[in-house]
Amino acid sequence: MSKVLIIAEHANGKLNASTAKCVTCAAKFSPAAIEILILGSALDAAAAQAAALQGVTRVLSLSNPANATAIAANYAPQVVAAANGYSHIFGPSTTFGKDLMPRVAALLGVSQISDIMSVTDSHTFQRPIYAGNAIATVKAPTAQPVVATVRTASFAAVGNGASVAGIEAITVDVALPNHTRFVGLEAGGGERPDLQSAAVVISGGRALASEENFKLIYDLADKMKAGAGASRAAVDAGYAPNDMQVGQTGKIIAPGLYIAVGISGAIQHLTGIKDAGTIVAINKDSEAPIFEVADIGLVADLFVAVPELMAALG
Amino acid sequence: MKILVGLKRVVDYTVRVQVKPDGSGVATDGVKHSINPFDEIALEEALRLREQGKATEVIVVSIGAQTSMQQLDSGLAMGANRAIHVKTDRAIQPLTAARVFLKLIEQEKPDLVILGKQAIDDDANQTAQMIAALWDRPQATFASKVEVLGASLRVTREVDAGLETLDVDLPAVLSVDLRLNTPRFIKLPDIMKAKAKPRAIIDFDSLGVDSGDHLTYVSYAPPVKRQKGVMVADVPALVAALKQKGLL
């Protein structure tokens, strides 16, 4: 029977929603156990959130001052030491998981399945290749653990269950290298909701035409309590910082409502939003490819339509 | 400092790939191929480190069929000192690629290995991390800025939360992101000059690498397309449509 270990992502006492999405993915093949391994230094709050998730049977908490920041070279050998006996080791396909999980897989001497988007059975999964232009069905061998990352936009976060799993503090006997040192983190985004977890995201494209004009996107986002994103074209032109980039080379997101303002809809952008609940497009060009995927399209000058929309929202 | 750079031959990013009608793969015959764009950025960074006097030699490596030599030729024309082609007709997976790199690392003893963060064909985003794991050295993935500080590097990384800065001791492995630099264009005289540069060809089987190709790619399908929705005439109609869907 399958036994899944999910590596939790968390920051500042808060469990990242990507962890609950990994649980949803794992539950698809009905494993005998879904356990969560959480590494860090002050873990009580995030471990409790992990223990509350529906379907989670146990939480392993690996606290160590050296784990205060997620350094893959430090985390990977600890994950390997804690992962003995599991048939599956999953992490989210966020920059945290993408950095860590291949290092875990290589230490275990196994291949990794990147970006699971759907599940056929415990060893057969679908994943996007060629920027989402093709979907491959991939089979992992049953004789070795399955190390994988889960494409978070493809799975809804599981809610809290009726019972709370036990939390066990564990230790591992691993000598940590000192060759990689955390210097700092310059947070992007400010007060707005994180793009990956926001229910509503407003993104601007090249048609905004300047960094100053991007204020329109921020104002609309603030009005709607939404996350603010940008197309690669807008980022490349310097209108918005890179951490706002939505698309295959940026963030892949699945908000309930996505409003694309002045975005033409290049394939690499569409790949990043195709799991959104409702897509709204506002664009001057009625031929823009974004309208082929939009649920609601409005052909209009964004500099007129966005202020009008803000006024209508009150 | 000696730098090893991985260059993967991939379908050019401008090609809209099609899944074969029988689902057995993606049509790649007769379409334009190029250096994986992220790997091109990796090479550009290595060349800049050499031009700043921080590195002495830049070696480009490609694992693949005979045709991969075209991408190594481009890498040499961009300015790499020499090329190593590990020749195999099989499509290898990231763990195998990492094991090949480890063999080359043992032979060449580089101070730095730089790769793109992912190849735009399999989108795996694994090889750099796996090399670092097997080599037991630091990794700095998704690099957007690299500074040399004596025997270590200060690397800015593009992470979901913003920009993270790490110090990594050399030797180390980097995977690079789009914003690190803009690769140079190749000029005709550079192509001529590159003809004389050394190219080593190593047969994959002669390296004695255990295959890490554990995954079986069973079938391929085109992505499910979203349906085109409705067009509204003006902002009040947009607001009404959003309200009707319960989104406002």
pLDDT digits (tens, 9 = 90+) for B12-50: 988 889 999 999 999 998 999 999 999 999 999 999 999
Residue A190's pLDDT is: 67
Measured in angstroms, the CA of B215 and the nearest CA of chain A are apart by 5
Which residues in chain A are closer than 8 Å to B228, comparing Cβ atoms? 291-294
User: Are residues A242 and B158, on separate chains, in Cβ contact within 8 Å?
Assistant: yes
Mean pLDDT over A44-63 rounds to: 98
Check which CATH number belongs to the domain holding A134 and give it.
3.40.50.620
Does A248 map to a domain?
yes
Does A174 map to a domain?
no
- Cα separation, A214 vs A217, whole angstroms: 5
Q: Indicate the SS3 state at residue A103.
A: helix
User: Are residues A187 and B228, on separate chains, in Cβ contact within 8 Å?
Assistant: no
Which residues in chain A are closer than 8 Å to B102, comparing Cβ atoms? none
Residue entry with tokens 């990796």: B42
Verify that A297 and A153 share a domain, yes or no. no
Whose CA is closest to A98, among B163, B142, B99? B142
Nearest chain A Cα to B221, which residue? A135
Confidence of residue A249 (pLDDT cuts 50, 70, 90): confident
Does A60 map to a domain?
yes
What are the tens digits of pLDDT across the range A176-226?
999 999 999 998 766 788 888 789 999 999 999 999 999 999 999 999 999
Total tally of structural domains belonging to chain A: 2
Which residues in chain A are closer than 8 Å to B167, comparing Cβ atoms? 180-181, 183
**pTM of the model as a whole:** 0.92
Count of all residues that appear for chain A in the document: 314
Which residues in chain B are closer than 8 Å to A185, comparing Cβ atoms? 159, 161-165
Token pair belonging to B160: 């979901």
Confidence of residue A63 (pLDDT cuts 50, 70, 90): very high
Verify that A28 and A133 share a domain, yes or no. yes
Give me the residues paired with residue B57 across strands: B2
What are the tens digits of pLDDT across the range A148-186?
999 998 999 999 999 999 999 999 999 999 999 999 999
Residue B107's pLDDT is: 97
Mean pLDDT over B193-211 rounds to: 97
A141 within 8 A of A111, measured Cβ to Cβ: no
Check which CATH number belongs to the domain holding A212 and give it.
3.40.50.1220
Mean pLDDT over A22-30 rounds to: 98
Mean pLDDT over B44-62 rounds to: 98
Backbone angles phi, psi at B51, to 5 degrees: -65, -30
Q: What DSSP letter does each residue of A194-217 carry, written as one string? A: PTTT-SEEEEE-GGG-STGGGHHH
Does A20 map to a domain?
yes
- Cα separation, A18 vs A10, whole angstroms: 9
Dihedral sign computed on CA atoms, order A76, A82, A88, A94: negative
User: Are residues B95 and A256, on separate chains, in Cβ contact within 8 Å?
Assistant: no
Verify that A222 and A78 share a domain, yes or no. no
End-of-domain residue from the set A123, A150, A169: A169
Mean pLDDT over B198-214 rounds to: 97
Pairing of strands A58-63, A166-169: parallel
Does A298 map to a domain?
yes
User: Are residues A105 and B95, on separate chains, in Cβ contact within 8 Å?
Assistant: yes
Does A183 map to a domain?
no
Does A179 map to a domain?
no
Does A236 map to a domain?
yes
What are the tens digits of pLDDT across the range B66-100?
999 999 999 999 999 999 999 999 999 999 999 99
Mean pLDDT over B183-202 rounds to: 96
Helix or strand (DSSP H, E) at A221: helix A215-223
Residue B157's pLDDT is: 96
Q: Smallest Cβ distance to B162: which of A109, A113, A186?
A: A186
- How high does pLDDT run on average in chain A? 95
> What is the residue range of A285's domain?
200-313
Q: Where do the domains of chain B lie, and which CATH numbers do they carry?
A: 2-219 (3.40.50.620)
